[in-house]
Structure 1
Amino acid sequence: MAGDWNEVTLGEISDFRAGSVFKPSHQGNADGEIPFIKVSDMNLPENAVRILSANNWVSKAVARDLRAKPLPPGAVVFAKIGEALRQNRLRQVVRDTIVDNNMMGAIPRRDRVDEGFFYYTLSQFDFAEIAQGTALPYLTVSSISNLKLSLPELHEQRAIAHILSSLDNKIELNRRMSATLETMARSHFKAWFVYFAPVRAKAEGHDPGLPPHLASVFPDRLIVTEHGEVPEGWEVKPLSEIAEFLNGLALQKYPATDPADSLPVIKIAELRNGVTAKSDRASRDVPDKYIVRDGDFLFSWSGSLLAKFWTEGDGALNQHLFKVSSDRYPTWFIAEWVQVHLEEFQNIAASKATTMGHIQRGHLNAAMTNCPPNSGLADLGSVISPLVERRIQIDLESRTLAAIRDTLLPKLISGDLRVKDAETYLDRVL
């Protein structure tokens, strides 16, 4: 700890505000002026650090009816009860915001603490450690107010917050770039392989709007099959035929004897939120085909039914997840076909009300794909594949940036690393 820093409690530098009861009549109100944040909003990807969007909004009149006093910009919000408390997610609000009664807001006193420094400081506390209750842990204002921290002068607080927020801002920019690339790739894919827009244009005597080498991939007419219309010369194949869906293992059979030389177990939680300190570990004796590496495409077939390219480093594939691959078709092609059918699969899983929602192999057999000749697929891949590959690289870069941030954060917040040293380090690695 830096010798010239002061030890204070959170109660000395901030005020705490409880949430309000959310009424069912407010559900889905997108016309309001004030976001009403529930615990589920903390999972939205665009809310990684700051609350930028919400599923529910209320008017100022409704806020008055709720007797809710909005949290001001710069306040930090977090869950105060149950499993969400254990997950320890924090977000900073950027506009007047109301939170529900399962959450709490902490408002920094700006004459004492920079709001950015305040957010990063709070992120270092494990609120679950001071929670009361066991089956349903909960936070109290008194317990959180008594937490102690070291506080430098305001100018150094701002410098520390600037370094850390620069990394988070770059990660957020990468997230938006990745989302844009995903949208571009999916738009091309659906236009070409699902809606056959170039074929329909040529059939009507119009220019498909593509370079000649791409336009030539598409015939000028559709033929009718038992699965509907398909471009002449193309094949219709089940999803299960174009890709292998490797189900994961019950990894308790491969316990990690040495945590330092082990693999994180990739479950649905890791697919959604990445590897954390709470992730289970498995021995490296897991058969090689069940080891997941960066760039592999994963698909959870039960529970949430998520599908994404993995970019969190080596891991062990748990049951309820598929690793999707193919010896014949490129990864971008099989991944996009999974995405095309994902909503359908999610609806099938949601219809299984008596069990945990899931799909079966038969659903993969019933999901059809449209496959052009191999030469044409390579030409079309020259457009879509770079978008997918660039997205994977951006996500990998974000992982590196997050690792740098997570290394610097505790050292900067404690004073073990001073600002000039951190700036020198960043100049060297970025």
Structure 2
Amino acid sequence: MPFSELLSTVVDNRGRTCPTVASGIKLIATNCISNEMLHPRYEKVRYVSQETYDNWFRGHPRPGDLIFVCKGSPGRVAIAPNPVDFCIAQDMVAVRADRSKIHPLYLFAALRSPVVQERIQSLQVGTMIPHFKKGDFGKLNIPVPDRDSQAGIGSFYYAMSSKIAVNERIAARADELSAELFRQAVLKTPDQFTEQALSDTADFINGRAFTKDATGTGRMVVRIAEINSGPGSSTVYNDIDVPEKHLARPGDVLFAWSGSLTVSRWFHPEAIINQHIFKCVPKNGFPQWLVSQLVHRKIDEFRAIAADKATTMGHIQRRDLDEPVLVPTSEAVSSFGARMSSLWTRALLAEQESLTLATLRDALLPQLMFGRLRVKDAEKIVEEQV
């Protein structure tokens, strides 16, 4: 059935940039919506005044509405929470399901399904900034099973996505606790730390230009985009053989030293490391978690260095890795290293489980939507795999 026939309301903000203020009611933009999260995130959020909120918009999202991105990365969709404490910026709409025709959670799952996402990509226009026209909603066809099946599929998808969201919070919290534990150790026991060059704690192995002549199959080529957002439609794959030093495996520390400087723990399957990314290989017996902490503690300084290079893409140089960092002695590592290692492992396991759940969810969803699999069978498959 055409997507447009399953809606009761479509809300937008007239497609114009509205005036913003320093504080007030949240105005979420397209960067707040991700297909990896259930609800909008308040990332770099702006604000509007009460007057703008009351008079500028045609309407506002309600709890359970689907916030749909039309421009930039068309097709990203999230559920409006309860209560809704924001309004939406241009380039996105809030769509409300006609509950007499379709279950809202099923509609949410269907919009995120690979088959519908592929259709959205095929309908978008523009090369520099892709755009999905609201008038093309009628060209999106959504399979509509019976009501009981809709409810079961929607609940299955929501439960899987909720577990993924919990894992992401676990990983984030574990990393926050690790950073705080390390900070407290530096403050309370400074005599157990010595200054060493960052380059003495790890080998920083630069990737190479492995996207050239890529085959489209084989292992993922990790670029800065994949470090920041994971694999997407533009991700490159290559089946070439590369040296061990240019491979990323789960638990490896990757450091993008150019562009948007980022430090990340790799948790995806084995991949190939592209140029502008260091693989941080611990040396002198240092553990992975320590190297990660040390690079993270220097990242703001490195970003400041990169920002000063106004005439070129911001980056750091090899000599910047020789700057000193506070490194715990072997005794200090023995005293709090077990806790740091445990937090590091817990975060990695949560990230890997989320990846498994997302892969299963996205593979099973089309089969459920087209009646080739029952929900209870899908749940059994998940139990066996996770």
Q: TM-score, normalised by structure 2?
A: 0.90
1:25 lines up with 2:15 in the alignment: no
- 2:282 & 2:379 partners in 1: Cα distance? 45
1:218 maps to: none
Q: Paired residue for 2:39, among 34, 37, 50?
A: 50
Q: For residues 206-242 of structure 1, give each alpha carbon's deviation from its aligned partner in whole angstroms, at most 9, with x where no partner exists.
A: xxxxxxxxxxxxxxxxxxxxxxxxx2x7431111221
2:181 maps to: 188
Sequence identity percentage: 27
Give ranges in structure 1 of 5+ residues lacking alignment: 1-7, 200-230
- 1:363 & 1:286 partners in 2: Cα distance? 27
Tell me the C-alpha RMSD between the 2 structures.
Answer: 2.2
2:308 maps to: 351
Between 132-141 and 92-101, the greater mean CA deviation after superposition: 132-141
1:71 maps to: 61
- 1:395 & 1:123 partners in 2: Cα distance? 20
1:342 lines up with 2:322 in the alignment: no
Residue correspondences, number: 376
- 2:283 & 2:129 partners in 1: Cα distance? 48
1:384 maps to: 340
**Cα distance, 1:352 vs structure 2:** 2.6
- 2:159 & 2:282 partners in 1: Cα distance? 39
Given the superposition, is the C-alpha separation of residues 384 and 160 from structure 1 closer, same or farther in structure 2, using an over 3 Å criterion? same
**Cα distance, 1:302 vs structure 2:** 1.1
**Cα distance, 1:68 vs structure 2:** 4.2
1:41 maps to: 32
1:167 lines up with 2:124 in the alignment: no
2:328 maps to: 372
- 2:305 & 2:375 partners in 1: Cα distance? 53
Contact 2:28 2:46 in 1 (8 A): yes
- 2:315 & 2:127 partners in 1: Cα distance? 31
Give ranges in structure 2 of 5+ residues lacking alignment: none
SS at match of 2:102: coil
**Cα distance, 1:423 vs structure 2:** 3.0
Given the superposition, is the C-alpha separation of residues 38 and 408 from structure 1 closer, same or farther in structure 2, using an over 3 Å criterion? same
Report the residue type matching 1:66 in the other structure: W
1:242 lines up with 2:201 in the alignment: yes
- 1:19 & 1:351 partners in 2: Cα distance? 38
SS at match of 2:272: strand
- 2:311 & 2:342 partners in 1: Cα distance? 43
Q: Where do 1:409-424 residues align within 5 Å?
A: 409-424=365-380
2:79 maps to: 92
SS at match of 2:33: helix
- 1:145 & 1:327 partners in 2: Cα distance? 58
- 2:174 & 2:339 partners in 1: Cα distance? 12
- 2:235 & 2:203 partners in 1: Cα distance? 26
- 1:331 & 1:268 partners in 2: Cα distance? 20
Q: Paired residue for 1:295, among 240, 247, 251?
A: 251
Report the residue type matching 1:19 in the other structure: N
Q: Give the structure with higher Rg (CA).
A: 1
Q: Paired residue for 1:107, among 96, 104, 111?
A: 96
Report the residue type matching 2:375 in the other structure: V
Contact 2:193 2:329 in 1 (8 A): yes
Contact 2:357 2:382 in 1 (8 A): no
1:131 maps to: 124
Contact 2:13 2:56 in 1 (8 A): no
Report the residue type matching 1:140 in the other structure: K
Given the superposition, is the C-alpha separation of residues 254 and 326 from structure 1 closer, same or farther in structure 2, using an over 3 Å criterion? farther
SS at match of 1:25: coil
- 1:428 & 1:408 partners in 2: Cα distance? 14
Given the superposition, is the C-alpha separation of residues 253 and 10 from structure 1 closer, same or farther in structure 2, using an over 3 Å criterion? closer
1:279 lines up with 2:274 in the alignment: no
Between 52-61 and 160-169, the greater mean CA deviation after superposition: 52-61
- 1:161 & 1:281 partners in 2: Cα distance? 32
- 2:156 & 2:11 partners in 1: Cα distance? 29
Q: For residues 149-179 of structure 1, give each alpha carbon's deviation from its aligned partner in whole angstroms, at most 9, with x where no partner exists.
A: 2212222211111111111111111111111
- 1:305 & 1:68 partners in 2: Cα distance? 40
**Cα distance, 1:128 vs structure 2:** 2.4
Contact 1:19 1:105 in 2 (8 A): no
Given the superposition, is the C-alpha separation of residues 157 and 60 from structure 1 closer, same or farther in structure 2, using an over 3 Å criterion? farther
- 2:262 & 2:129 partners in 1: Cα distance? 28
